[in-house]
Amino acid sequence: AQSVAQPEDQVNVAEGNPLTVKCTYSVSGNPYLFWYVQYPNRGLQFLLKYITGDNLVKGSYGFEAEFNKSQTSFHLKKPSALVSDSALYFCAVRDMGNTPLVFGKGTRLSVIA
Amino acid sequence: DTEVTQTPKHLVMGMTNKKSLKCEQHMGHRAMYWYKQKAKKPPELMFVYSYEKLSINESVPSRFSPECPNSSLLNLHLHALQPEDSALYLCASSPRTGDSNQPQHFGDGTRLSIL
């Protein structure tokens, strides 16, 4: 069965600094990996996905993620954080076929001005 | 703006009431999902519909009754809920359940409070 781990409950970063939100995964086959962001009182918004190909995936709002097969990681990154990036971030994984989307526990990102 | 629309945004109901949550999408997606989300926790899958047929029920209590009247609409009928059912209920859609490489699109949810 697939699983996702987000080891940090909270990440704090100063505005303008680079940010990283960590995610590791476990699947039996090739993974389909996703990052979602949730702002207060909103649903989940899709940021980016890894299917196959380039290990650096670019997504919405200047976010990108680096896929590392040997470390089974898919860390979310942004070169320069904004206060408006403060939100709850979820990593998610699906295996091939008709399998459910499995979410990590979430990481709260706080960007301080 | 989200492409999945959920109504109402907020709902307060007593334990003996009957109410329904509604979800609508016009992206031509044939897979639709209900999730329950508690504060600061990830969404928990409740039901999956594929081509208007229920394909997954994650052992959800019968006081929650889903319905998919057509390919654009998804309802969740509520009856005799318990206080622990208070949560944010999210609807999502995707092109097809078997398309693992496609993201799910979420609505903004209905925040449900049980008195």
In the predicted model, is pLDDT for residue A6 greater than 80? Answer: yes
Interface of A with B in 67-106 (CB under 8 A): 88, 90, 94-101, 103-106
Query: pLDDT tens digit string along A56-110?
Result: 999 999 999 999 999 999 999 999 999 999 999 999 999 877 788 999 999 999 9
CB contact under 8 A, B55 and A98: yes
Give the pLDDT band (50/70/90) at residue A45: very high
Whether chain B has a CB inside 8 Å of the CB on A45: the answer is yes
Residues B36 and B86 sit within 8 Å (Cβ to Cβ): no
In the predicted model, is pLDDT for residue B63 greater than 90? Answer: yes
Q: Mean pLDDT for chain B?
A: 94
Whether chain A has a CB inside 8 Å of the CB on B107: the answer is yes
Residues A19 and A89 sit within 8 Å (Cβ to Cβ): no
- Residues of B in Cβ contact (< 8 Å) with A67: none
Residues B92 and B24 sit within 8 Å (Cβ to Cβ): no
Please give the sequence-ordered ranges of beta strands (E in DSSP) within A27-106, or none if there are none: 32-38, 44-50, 56-58, 64-68, 73-78, 87-94, 102-103
Q: H or E element: which one contains B64? A: strand B64-70
- Mean pLDDT over A41-46 rounds to 94
The angle subtended at Cα A76 by Cα B111 and Cα B96, nearest 5°, is 60
Whether chain A has a CB inside 8 Å of the CB on B104: the answer is yes
Residues B23 and B74 sit within 8 Å (Cβ to Cβ): yes
Give the pLDDT band (50/70/90) at residue A1: confident
Q: Which pLDDT value is given to residue A104?
A: 98
In the predicted model, is pLDDT for residue B1 greater than 60? Answer: no
- Mean pLDDT over B25-42 rounds to 96
For chain B, give the number of residues.
115
Whether chain A has a CB inside 8 Å of the CB on B12: the answer is no
